[in-house]
Structure 1
Amino acid sequence: MLLLIGLFFGLLIVGAPVAFAIGISGFSFFIISQVMPASIGVQQVASASQSFPLLAVPFFVLAGHMMNKTGITTRLIRCSEVLVSWMSGGMAQVCIVLSTLMGGVSGSAVADAAMEARILGPDLVRNGYSKGFTAATIAVGSLITATIPPSLGLILYGFVGNVSIGRLFLAGVIPGLMMMAGLMFTVWVVSRKRGYRSATVTRPSWSAVGSAVWDAKWALFFPVALLVSIRSGMFTPSEVGAFAVVYAIVVGVLFHRELTWQGAMEALLHGVIDNGLIVLIIMFSGMVGYAIIFDQAPQAIAQGMLGLTQSPTAILFLIVVFLLIAGCFIEATVLVLLLTPIFLPIVLQLGVDPVHFGIVMMTMVTFGGMTPPVGVAMFTVCGLLDCSIDEYLVEALPHIATILILVAILIFFPQISLFLPNLLM
């Protein structure tokens, strides 16, 4: 197991693609193993792709790209501006609200951060917001998409851990809204202190709010339709991914009339590229996951942690600290696929609900993408806004503190995550 870990990090250090780092290190374990043939590793790669729940991933990725071509994004931006641009730091508040609304469309924190950095970032800088504050608000705000359905990370966690994806989707709603409220409050405090003014002088009228919400109704209705269709048994989580693609096409062609043939082909191309990368990582991770379980790594780690404390809350905090550190170096998708087989048996042994743990875990592994030294969302936003990492980190400290406080609240009060799943399912 030490060889597997060492080879994996060694390949990452020399710049190997993540998928190949996982595949080479995993296959090396089977080659040098004296107990089982290398063909077992090949079988695990193949079997990882033979999963019906896994179909949800490529469908939701494609749906997100399709929706970006249908005018949904521009309508959500307009809706967010009407709702919160009158507040202190109004333009930055728009970024937070848009991340919440986009979570139900893209399902990807990096995609959301990149879109906002391109569209909203330059306007914030031109209106007097510092580059660091702008980049921090956009990057950390995109964390909300880790919990708002349909989160791709929650789908992968449910797939690997055999946890109900429908319950995970419901469990992410309240924590996602709490993140939105917490980050909006942080932006408000910083903006009041620095004199960042609101984008509009007066509050919007009820008619203006109603008009903006009505204009964005098909985008706002989408996450609601997902949850209702899963809860009612109309679709499985995999089938609802296909429904999302059809929904995006229908809205783009019949209602918004903005989805062209060229736009659809571009969305399909981007979807194929993204899915190729994600599925390759998933397939190779199946081999590594089998090696981890075979080597009894979860049992060894569980014994080590339980030797320190028997408190479920303390164990969760230890795992959160580990995920926070690991997330600084490794992409969220990889962490979910590699660490779920290790940590889920530990928390189950302690009586922690796997749905509650999934929300905490996804928040932390995605949060690593917003922090140095190799945060993907951080580098994406800073690169697009030409912002230095030092300036970003200083400005991001209030946002980071807010998220860590919210995670602590979720750990101490699991009922927050479990309220909707227990109520509706």
Structure 2
Amino acid sequence: MTLVLVVFLVLVALGMPVAFAIGISGFLFFLTQNLDISIPAQVAVTQTQNFAILAIPLFIFAGNCLNETGLTRRLLDFASALTGHMRAGLGHVSVVSSFMMGGVTSSAIGDATMFGRVLGPAMRERSYAPGFAAGVIGTSAIITTMVPPGTGLILYGTLGEVSIGRLFVAGIVPGVLMTVLLMVAVALTARRYGYPRERAERASVAHVLRAGLRSTWALLFPVILILGLRFGFFTPSEAGAFAVAYALVVGVLFYRELSWARLSRALSNTVTDVGMIMLLIALSGGWGYALTWDRVPQTIMDALLGISENPTLVLLILVIALLVAGMFMDSTVLILLLTTMLVPVAEMAGLDPIHFGIVMVLTLTLGLLTPPIGIVMLVVCQMFRTDVPTYLRQSVYLWLALVTLIVVVILVPETTTWLPELIY
């Protein structure tokens, strides 16, 4: 397995697409172990035959359809009505909008790109420090991974055989906490740099209610999904099909903005997104087989128990390892590669798989914001024409907010388990 890992890292360093690096290094394992070379093909096909995975392309298509209906604009207006009177109001709008958009985009990279384009020009006009503006857009985007239906949670639940419905519910409290902590961080930064308010006074209650009513269909989306899963109206895959139908009905009948041209664009974007994810899922099967064959989870567990048998300490060690891994590789790839290996480790250590899943997905997603190759970090730094050291320095309060969140979620498992236990 060591040779497989080394070959994989070398191929990635040489610039090979990650999916092919995974496939080639995984195939190498079967050659070195003198196993039947037809097994990799069988495993790749088996990876895509899991019925729950059908939820991924359906949710991606639903999100792309909703983005073409003018729903994003309505949510931004609602967030502006709620927070525009605060200092650095656009920063607060970014945070609140990301929380409300989580159920629509399900993608941190997509969210950062979209809000960077929408809010970036206005932030530059108001002379926001480029590192702070990049930091607000980047850190806000991470919220989308916790609000259902996050793609990372679906992948973890599918591969780790953990209830996707419970994971959706478990992400809500961390998502709310992240939103609150980032808003506090934006407020502290705004006071430090003297950023003005967007409006001198709060928006009137009537204005807020009107903006909220225009966003009703977006705000109801994650609520309907959770209730449908909780009361057994549909499985996760059927929830994806419902999401597509919901998006089409809202876009055609209620907002009346989903034209044939926009639907075609949504389909085109979906094909690109799904093709990338499904290729990764298929080719990661060889790694999963190799990890099981070499008893890697058991080896890791023995090593961790040699350090400590305290579940919290074991979780802290895993979080540090995941943070380091997230600095060098995309979170989706790492969820695919590590879930089947680490879920058994977590269960043997006495950790709740729901709690561990939220911590794992959140930690790996934070890697999108960290040097040297955090994708979201590179996107926002390029958008605001700033360098990484400036981005890190001017976003210090935002980083403290994220570190606080991770510590709270690790040390207080009830933040992730209380709501699923209450609802289920």
TM-score with structure 2 setting the length? 0.99
Residue by residue over 1:155-198, the C-alpha shift from the partner in whole angstroms, topping out at 9 and shown as x without a partner, is 00001100000000000001000000000000001101111111
After TM superposition, list the pairs within 5 Å mapping 1:197-346 onto structure 2: 197-346=196-345
Residues 113, 138 of structure 1: 8 Å contact kept:
yes
CA deviation profile, 1:215-267 (whole Å, cap 9, x unmatched): 11111111111111111111111111111111111111111010110110111
Structure 1 residues 257-307: Cα deviation after superposition (integer angstroms, max 9, x where no partner):
101101101110110011000000011111111111111111111111110
Residue in 2 that maps onto 1:399: 398
Distance in 2 (alpha carbons) for counterparts of 1:89 and 1:397:
16
Aligned pairs for 1:49-64 within 5 A? 49-64=48-63
Q: What does residue 174 of structure 2 align with?
A: 175
Deviation at 1:393, TM superposition (A): 1.8
CA contact (8 A) 1:122 1:385 kept: no
C-alpha distance in 2 between matches for 1:317 and 1:349: 15
C-alpha distance after superposition, 1:336-355 (max 9, x if no partner): 11111221111101221100
Whole-angstrom distance in 1 between the partners of 2:77 and 2:142: 21
> For residue 23 of structure 1, what is the aligned residue in structure 2?
23
Q: What secondary structure is seen at the aligned counterpart in 2 of 1:128?
A: coil
Please tell me the residue identity of whatever aligns with 1:288.
Answer: W
Letter in 2 for 1:326: A
**How does 1:104-183 map onto structure 2 within 5 Å?**
104-183=103-182
Would the aligned equivalents of 2:188 and 2:397 in 1 still touch at CA under 8 Å?
no
Q: Are the aligned partners of 1:135 and 1:382 in contact in 2 as well (CA < 8 Å)?
A: yes
Residue 353 of structure 1: aligned partner: 352
CA distance in 2, matches of 1:384, 1:241: 32
Cα RMSD, aligned residues only: 0.9
Counterparts of 1:30 and 1:397 in 2: how far apart (Å)?
46
Is 1:47 matched up with 2:43?
no
Matched letter for residue 85 of structure 1: G
Q: Deviations over 1:42-63 (max 9, x none)?
A: 1110100001000011011111
Residues 301 and 349, structure 2, Cα contact 8 Å, conserved in 1: no
The answer to whether the 8 Å contact 2:58/2:240 transfers is yes
Contact 2:102 / 2:147 at 8 angstroms: preserved in 1? yes
Could you tell me how far apart the structure 2 residues matched to 1:138 and 1:407 are?
Answer: 19
- Distance in structure 2 (CA, Å) of the matches to 1:235 and 1:228: 10
Match of 2:32 in 1: 32
Contact 1:56 1:241 in 2 (8 A): yes
1:366 deviates by 0.5
Q: Answer whether contact 1:91 1:198 (CA < 8 A) is retained.
A: no
Tell me the SS of whatever aligns to 2:131.
helix
Match of 1:186 in 2: 185
Shift of 1:405: 1.4
Kindly tell me the number of residue pairs found equivalent between the two proteins: 424
Q: Secondary structure at the match of 1:122?
A: helix
- Give, as a single letter, the amino acid of the residue that structure 2 aligns with 1:128: S
Question: Is 1:13 paired with 2:42?
Answer: no
Matching residue's letter, 2:11: L
Using the alignment, how far apart are the partners of 2:210 and 2:356 within structure 1?
A: 39
Amino acid at match of 1:277: M
**Cα drift, residue 386 of structure 1:** 2.0
Query: 4+ residue runs of structure 1 moved beyond 3 angstroms?
Result: none
Question: Which amino acid in 2 is paired with 1:78?
Answer: D
CA distance in 1, matches of 2:342, 2:105: 27
State the alpha-carbon separation in 1 of the partners of residues 197 and 228 from structure 2: 39
1:372 maps to amino acid: P
Question: Counterparts of 2:105 and 2:315 in 1: how far apart (Å)?
Answer: 29
Q: Distance in 2 between matches of 1:27 and 1:393?
A: 39
Corresponding residue for residue 417 of structure 1: 416
Report deviation, 1:397: 2.7
Paired with 2:28 and 2:314, the residues of 1 have a C-alpha distance of: 32
Q: Matches of residues 381-400 of structure 1 in structure 2 within 5 Å?
A: 381-400=380-399
Deviations 1:33-76 (A, max 9, x none): 12x21111111101000010000110111111111100100000
- Greater displacement, 405-414 / 171-180: 405-414
Matched AA of 1:389:
V
Alpha-carbon distance in 2 for matches of 1:266, 1:11: 33
Q: CA deviation at 1:134?
A: 0.4
Deviations 1:75-109 (A, max 9, x none): 00100100011112111110000110111111111
Equivalent positions of 1:51-90 (< 5 A) are 51-90=50-89
Which amino acid is 1:222 matched to? F
Report the identity percentage: 44
Q: Confirm or deny: 8 A CA contact 1:109 1:145 kept in the other structure.
A: yes
Whether the aligned pair in 2 keeps the contact of 1:63 and 1:245 (CA below 8 Å) is: yes
Q: In structure 2, what residue type is equivalent to 1:103? A: G
Counterpart of 2:141, as a letter, is: S
Paired with 1:280 and 1:331, the residues of 2 have a C-alpha distance of: 14
Q: What amino acid is aligned across from residue 33 of structure 2 in structure 1?
A: S
Distance 2:226 2:156 in 1: 18
What CA deviation, in whole Å up to 9, does each residue of 1:380-405 have, x standing for no partner? 12222222222112123321221111
Q: Work out the CA distance in 2 between the residues paired with 1:141 and 1:20.
A: 31
Tell me the distance in 1 between the aligned counterparts of 2:198 and 2:262. 32
Structure 1 portions without partners, runs of 5+: none
